[in-house]
Amino acid sequence: MEASNFWDNQEKAQALVNELRQLTSVLKPLKELKGAVDDIQVLEEFLQADPTEANQAEVDNAKRALDQQMEVLELQSMLSGSMDKYNVYLSVQAGEGGTDASDWAAMLLRMYARWAELKGYEVEEIELSEAEEAGIRSATILIKGDNAFGYMRSEVGVHRLIRMSPFDAAGRRQTSFAAIDTTPDLDDDVNIEVDWDEEVREDVFRAGGAGGQKVNKTSSAIRLTHLPTNTVVQCQNERSQHKNRAIARKMLVSRLFQREQEKRDAEVAAKRGLKSRIGFGGETIRHYVMAPQQYVKDARTGLTVGNPTKVLDGDIDPFIESFLRDQMGKETE
């Protein structure tokens, strides 16, 4: 990186910078952990030489801090899948529930955008289809950050909301559903053979919006359908049809690669007598209850949090960590 011509090839240079950052994120906590252990050993020697309450408190505090460092490192070790390190395309799809479901889908989209913001990640809108009255029918965002896919694979499945409907004149309780899907944003050198002429149907359409500057005046949005697998992706965030096509193709290749990887994982898991950890289909994974009680419960791990507002503001790390620990436990059984 100190070479004078390092930035001559911007793409290669950025790839090396990203690789360095990922390696540093692994090595730095290990070095800090070793340093903390060494410090505790020194403090314990002081305690043996001078067994005062103050020295004992210092040792206890150092050990508590070490436990916290261990928890962080343990969580990082759970993100060791072949695709965990990548950025992630996260898609939200409104399900049953009418306008409430569309509003619920928009709430989930905001929740993940807030989570990404709290993590210091970047969020880029890929496509968004607004509903007629409120909320969205569907949307896809790209979350850029270390291990983004590894974290977000815990969110795949159906999310269920129970609340007093703001769209019901009688104020009755309503149950709504929305589905979350994720796809890793893989490198360009991923080798997946696709016959773009024979296997992929391309549809060009005008991106919709709420009006004004949000409406794309030209038909630049791209939808690609991989006919053999019926895999559909679309992109409308760029005004250029060419750019939207390039992003959509990259998404499609990533999703096809992910399908193959999940298929292999399922086969390996079946041989070991385990359930594959990726891909939940239409399974309801989490319940968000706003009335009459107030709580969020994960159906897979049983974790329950009593403040839905905090969760919907992006505080979903407890659910992510609980899922990863649960999956690690199943894999080691």
Nearest to 210 by CA among 266, 136, 277: 136
Whether residue 292 has a cis bond before it, omega within 30° of 0: yes
CB 303 within 8 A of CB 322: yes
Domain 87-331: which topology?
A: Alpha-Beta Plaits (3.30.70)
Residue 280: its pLDDT value, please? Answer: 33
Distance CA 207, CA 242 (A): 14
Torsional class of 238: left (φ above 0), alpha (ψ -120 to 50), beta (otherwise): beta
Range name among 157-166, 213-222, 299-308 with the lowest pLDDT average: 213-222
Within 79-130, where are the H helices?
A: 98-119
Residue 189: its pLDDT value, please? Answer: 65
Distance CA 5, CA 244 (A): 32
| Residues paired with 89 in a beta bridge | 142, 183
- Using one digit for the tens of pLDDT, what is the confidence trace for 110-125? 999 999 999 999 999 9
Torsional class of 37: left (φ above 0), alpha (ψ -120 to 50), beta (otherwise): alpha
The model's pTM is: 0.75
Residue 211: its pLDDT value, please? Answer: 40
In the predicted model, is pLDDT for residue 214 greater than 70?
Answer: no
Distance CA 53, CA 43 (A): 13
Residue 281: its pLDDT value, please? Answer: 43
| Region 167-177 average pLDDT | 86
Q: Where are the domains of the chain?
A: 6-78, 87-331
